[in-house]
A and B are shown apart, each in its own frame.
Chain A
Amino acid sequence: QQQVKQSPQSLIVQKGGISIINCAYENTAFDYFPWYQQFPGKGPALLIAIRPDVSEKKEGRFTISFNKSAKQFSLHIMDSQPGDSATYFCAAGYTGGFKTIFGAGTRLFVKA
């Protein structure tokens, strides 16, 4: 039972371009939506997160857009850089965070 669906599976973007990764969730009880970034050989690390009471959150070049009625959220990476090449996971969770459900992941490659 896949509660968080993530697309695309892989993404190639030119340096300076915008990378967009989309996620959809099913359970309206989720109240925390993080994005994790994972480099090869490393564990995932929190990149940015949003609560359902706001529609957008921006941190530097990274922005989460959240559509509560559509049960969708997305990650936008502005001015994408080769150093952004990594796997990105969206997730949905509850207060406390330890039962977070992860999407399948998107492998991003930014061409120099």
Chain B
Amino acid sequence: NAGVTQTPKFQVLKTGQSMTLQCAQDMNHEYMSWYRQDPGMGLRLIHYSVGAGITDQGEVPNGYNVSRSTTEDFPLRLLSAAPSQTSVYFCASLSGQGYEQYFGPGTRLTVT
């Protein structure tokens, strides 16, 4: 099993550009989440999904969109990037029967 994979590892965007951060998991987990990690702020939940076709907002959803068309994939879209979105983004998945979240390796995004 590859676990949770994320692409790209690094990305630089200009203000106003759009992009999609990809996340995939091969563990057949129902729950998937996106977090952003900023210095001194810990991990903050952006959006999450409890299954294909079902998504909801987390703590800091503004400026981000998500969709969940399959169990495996949970992409995060930035429609119009802003410097405040410079961060490291982590995708995570969780089995409905468990408590442990499995995190991907992260995407480091810089918006200039």
- Chain A residues with CB under 8 Å of chain B are 4, 6, 9, 32, 34, 36, 41-46, 49, 89, 93, 95-105
Contact = CB atoms under 8 A, between A and B. Distances in A.
A32 B99 contact: yes
Contact of A6 (B32, B42, B104): B42
Interface of B: 4, 31-33, 35, 40-45, 48, 50, 58-59, 90, 92, 94, 96, 98-101, 103-106
Those 3 A-B pairs whose CB atoms lie nearest each other, nearest first:
A43-B103, A102-B42, A102-B43
Contact of A98 (B42, B48, B104): B48
A105 B42 CA distance: 6
Nearest to A42: B105
A108 to B, nearest CB: 15
Which of A4, A93, A100, A103 neighbours the largest number of chain B CB atoms within 10 Å of its CB?
A100
A97 B100 CA distance: 7
A99 B47 CA distance: 10
A61 B97 CA distance: 27
